[in-house]
Chain A
Amino acid sequence: MALPYWTGMKLLAIFSLLVCLRTAFAADDAVVVTAVRDPVKKSYKKMIDGAALFEERKHLAPDAALRFKLIPRQADTRMEGVELEVAADSIAIPLKVAPDQTFTIERNRTALKENAQVMPNRKVGTMTWRADVRTPGLPPNVRRLGDLRLECAVGMKAGLISNYPAGFWGWLDGLIAQNESYCHRAAPRYLFFAERPIWSVTLVDGGRREVLPVDMLYGGASRDPDWQKDRHCDCSALFDRAYFVPLGDSSWPNDTRVEIEYMS
């Protein structure tokens, strides 16, 4: 007997939730080294998968290297002195965190086999993660669109995003969006963070210039009167630095400069 469409979708959502919970608890079981209770953590395997995708899509940013970056989620999150390790049943591999809170990750067979987790010594909800892909030689306020495209692809593949909309179907949409194909949408809501609070973002390709609408800054808050109540977005501490770019708009080449003007 065929189920009505929405009934089927709801059953799919419930099934997905159960699978996620089971996976989450299985991952918890694997962790033996924790510096704090209930730490932030990410799947080591997914991050390695993200790094593999970076190599596969290197043509987007031929001169760039891949790093990952820790970003505060709370205004009072202390970012100095963060310690990070790959933790599994039988091993714990410390990772060196640079002063700009970036780090690299190496492939380790045992860590993969034991479903290791990458964990900083900070509690869950205090930090989020992003891929960091930077072509050298650009001014600090300029990003390259190809770099951002690759950051999105790696970030989605590595499961770095912590952004769960409040509504049930919104949540399901978020689940579906955990795929790097999301980055090919014309205007995906994949958040990038500038170094300082943003006043404007302009795409520049030769003589073509386009200032992004304010809807694409501040996590889209100008269209959402309840933006300050959204505690699920992983941008809550950095709303004034958050922006989207039209990653999937192929009329903008990878060499497009993304020029950021700061508030001050």
Chain B
Amino acid sequence: MRTLVACALLAGCALTEPIPPERPLGPGEIASARQADNALELGKSTKADVKALLGEATALTFATGYEVWVYRERPDPKTQTPSLELVLLFEPAGILAKTRVR
């Protein structure tokens, strides 16, 4: 009986796919766009606040002084669901003016 149980456990281990170590989030990547959006404050959060909270963004700086920052959720290859993007607009003074999760 013991032998059977040991065999079953070994077979189970052999069939279970090893979980790869989690890759750290790269520049512009976030774990959850909605959670990140909820943590920000329109009219108050600064670029430095956002960078400290979410890390480096893909930043587009325009001649008008406005900046658009883009963060994307890392795609999950298992679920195949499209990842969300969090887009932030900073006014020329560097304060968060608008956000959008898509």
| Chain A contacts to B: CB under 8 angstroms | 75, 197, 199-200, 211, 213-214, 218, 221-222, 225, 227, 239-240, 263-264
Cβ contact within 8 Å between B102 and A211: yes
B89 within 8 Å of A (CB atoms): yes
Q: What are 28 A-B contacts defined by CB distance under 8 Å?
A: A75-B63, A197-B62, A199-B98, A199-B100, A200-B100, A211-B100, A211-B102, A213-B85, A213-B102, A214-B68, A214-B70, A214-B102, A218-B68, A221-B60, A222-B58, A222-B70, A227-B60, A239-B60, A239-B62, A240-B63, A240-B64, A240-B66, A263-B89, A263-B97, A263-B98, A264-B66, A264-B91, A264-B97
Minimal Cβ-Cβ distance residue in A for B62? A240
Q: Is the interface of B mostly helix, strand, loop or mixed?
A: strand
Q: Which residues of A contact B62 (CB under 8 A)?
A: 197, 239-240
Q: Given the complex of chains A and B, what is the CA–CA distance between A218 and B100 in angstroms?
A: 16
Cβ contact within 8 Å between B63 and A263: no
Cβ contact within 8 Å between B63 and A214: no
Q: Which residues of A contact B64 (CB under 8 A)?
A: 197, 240, 263
Q: Which residues of B contact A218 (CB under 8 A)?
A: 60, 68
| Chain B contacts to A: CB under 8 angstroms | 58, 60, 62-64, 66, 68, 70, 85, 87, 89, 91, 97-98, 100, 102
Nearest CB of B to A27, in Å: 33
Minimal Cβ-Cβ distance residue in A for B70? A222
Nearest CB of B to A74, in Å: 11
Cβ contact within 8 Å between A214 and B89: no
Nearest CB of A to B101, in Å: 10
Q: Given the complex of chains A and B, what is the CA–CA distance between A200 and B85 in angstroms?
A: 13
Nearest CB of B to A222, in Å: 5
Nearest CB of A to B83, in Å: 11
Do A199 and B89 contact each other (CB < 8 Å), given the known contacts A211-B100, A214-B68, A222-B70?
yes
Minimal Cβ-Cβ distance residue in B for A225? B58
Minimal Cβ-Cβ distance residue in A for B90? A263
Minimal Cβ-Cβ distance residue in B for A240? B62
Q: Given the complex of chains A and B, what is the CA–CA distance between A221 and B60 in angstroms?
A: 8
Nearest CB of A to B26, in Å: 13
